[in-house]
Structure 1
Amino acid sequence: MLKYEIIPVTPFAQNATLVWCDQTQEAAIIDAGGEVDRLLEAVEKHGLKLTKLLLTHGHIDHAGGVTDLKARTGVPIIGPQKEDQFWLDGLGEQSRMFAFPEAKPVTPDQWLEDGDRVSLGQSEFQVLHCPGHTPGHVVFFDEENQIAQVGDVIFAGSIGRTDFPKSDHQALITAIKEKLLPLGDEVRFIPGHGPMSNFGEEKRSNPFVSGRFG
C-alpha cells in the first residue's frame, strides 16, 4: 500500500508529495518544486529509499527542484507528457521571472502517455494525460488507495489557470469531466496547491465542474 506526506514548498506553497510503498520502503517525490533539503530530510525521517522523481507538469513551482535532486540522488525523472518539454526547457527563465532559485532545463528520463503505469515497490500509479493547464500535464492515480495526484488540473473549489502559452480551457474541462470524475465520487485528490478534496464534493460545489462557470 502507498503512504504519503504532503510537503508544501516554494513561495507558491506547492504541494510536493513524498509517497512510498509501505512494504518495500521505496519512495518517489511528486512535483519536487524546490526546498530540496527539506524533501530529502523527509525521505530520511521515514527511513525510505528514494527511487523516482515524478512530474505532473513543467511549471517552476512543480519542477524547479528536480535537477538538483537528481544530481544528489541519481534517481530518474519521470513525466510529464512530452508536450511540456518547452516548459521544462524554460525552467531557467521561469525561475528568474518568479524570483526562484536558479533552475536548469530538464529533459526527463522517461516521458509518460495516457494509460501508462508507474510502479513504486509493490504498488503502482495509473497515468492520465489531462491537458489544459499545460499541454503535457499528467495525473497519477493510486487505485488501491483511491487517491489521485492531480497537480494543477483541479483544486478544492477551483481549476487550473488556462492563461499560459498552449493552455486550453475547454481541454481542461474535458479532462476533468471525462477522465477524473469517472474515477468515482469517493476518490480523494491531492492538488498542486491548497487542501485535499474528493471528486464527489467538487461535482457538488465546484462552479467550474458543476457547469456554472465551466
Structure 2
Amino acid sequence: MLHVLVIPVTPFEQNCSLLWCDRTGEAAVIDPGGDLERIEEAIRTRNLNVRQILLTHGHIDHAAGAPELARRLGGIPILGPQEEERFWLQALPEQARTFGFGKVEAFLPDRWLEEGDTVSIGEHTLEVLHVPGHTPGHVVYFAPDERLAFVGDVLFAGSIGRTDFPRGDHRQLISGILAKLLPLGDDVRFVPGHGPMSTFGEERLNNPFLV
C-alpha cells in the first residue's frame, strides 16, 4: 500500500506530501517548500527511508526547501519538474525577497521530468504528466494503482491555478485539465497544492472554472 501524509508548510499553507511504501519503507517527499523540521519529524516518527524529492513546479512555497532537505537526508536526488521550469527555480532568491521568505538558494534538479516518465517509490509507480498553464514546466504525479494524483497548483477543490504569473496561460491550463487529468477517471482523488483533497469527478461536475 502507498501511504500519504499531507503536511501544510510555509505561510502559504502549501500541501507538502510524504509518500511511502508500507512493504519496503521507501519514501519520497513532494514539494517541500519549507518548515523542514516538521517534514523531518514526520519521516523520523515513521522510520522511513526517503529516496528522492519530487517537485511539481518552481514556485517558492513548493520548491524552496528542496536543496536543504536533500542535503539533510544524505544527498538524495531532486526530480522534476519539467525543464521549462528552469527560470522559476533560478529566480527563487528573487521570489524570496518578494514574498519575505528570507534567504533562499537557486538550484536545478538532478533530473528534469517529461511527459511519460515514471518514478518509483518502493513497489509503487508514479506516472508523470506535463500540465503547463499555471507555470510552463508544471508536472503532475499520478499513482494509477491507488487512483491518486498530486496536482500541485493546476487544480483545486472548486478552483484552478492562477495564470497571471510570467508565462502563465489560462487556455493551456484548462486544456491540460480537460485533456489529461479528468480522463484519468472520476474516482481519482487528488492532493492539490493548497486546500482540501477532492476527486476529478467532483471537479468535473461542480468546479465553476470547468463547466
Which TM-score band applies after superposition, normalised by the shorter structure?
Answer: over 0.9
2:146 counterpart residue number: 145
Query: For residue 60 of structure 1, what is the amino acid of its counterpart?
Result: I
2:18 counterpart residue number: 18
1:116 counterpart residue number: 117
Calculate the TM-score normalised by the size of structure 1. Answer: 0.97
Structure 2 CA distance, aligned partners of 1:101 and 1:187?
37
The alpha-carbon deviation at position 103 of structure 1 amounts to 1.1
Is the 1:2–1:20 contact (alpha carbons within 8 Å) kept by the matching residues of 2? yes
Query: For residue 85 of structure 1, what is the amino acid of its counterpart?
Result: R
Query: For residue 149 of structure 2, what is the amino acid of its counterpart?
Result: A
Gaps in structure 1 of 5+ consecutive residues: none
Structure 2 CA distance, aligned partners of 1:101 and 1:180?
35
Q: Count matched residues.
A: 210
Query: Residues 15-54 of structure 1: matches in 2 within 5 Å?
Result: 15-54=15-54
Query: For residue 9 of structure 2, what is the amino acid of its counterpart?
Result: V
* Secondary structure in 2 matching 1:204: helix
Is the 1:89–1:106 contact (alpha carbons within 8 Å) kept by the matching residues of 2? yes
The alpha-carbon deviation at position 101 of structure 1 amounts to 3.1
The alpha-carbon deviation at position 99 of structure 1 amounts to 0.6
Structure 2 CA distance, aligned partners of 1:159 and 1:34?
23
* Secondary structure in 2 matching 1:208: coil
Is the 1:117–1:124 contact (alpha carbons within 8 Å) kept by the matching residues of 2? yes
Is the 1:67–1:103 contact (alpha carbons within 8 Å) kept by the matching residues of 2? no
CA RMSD of aligned residues (A): 0.6
Gaps in structure 2 of 5+ consecutive residues: none
* Secondary structure in 1 matching 2:127: strand
Percent of aligned pairs with the same amino acid: 59
Calculate the TM-score normalised by the size of structure 2. Answer: 0.98
* Secondary structure in 1 matching 2:58: coil
CA offsets, 1:58-92, max 9 Å, x none? 00000010011112121100000000000000111
2:90 counterpart residue number: 89
Structure 1 CA distance, aligned partners of 2:18 and 2:103?
23
Structure 1 CA distance, aligned partners of 2:114 and 2:19?
21
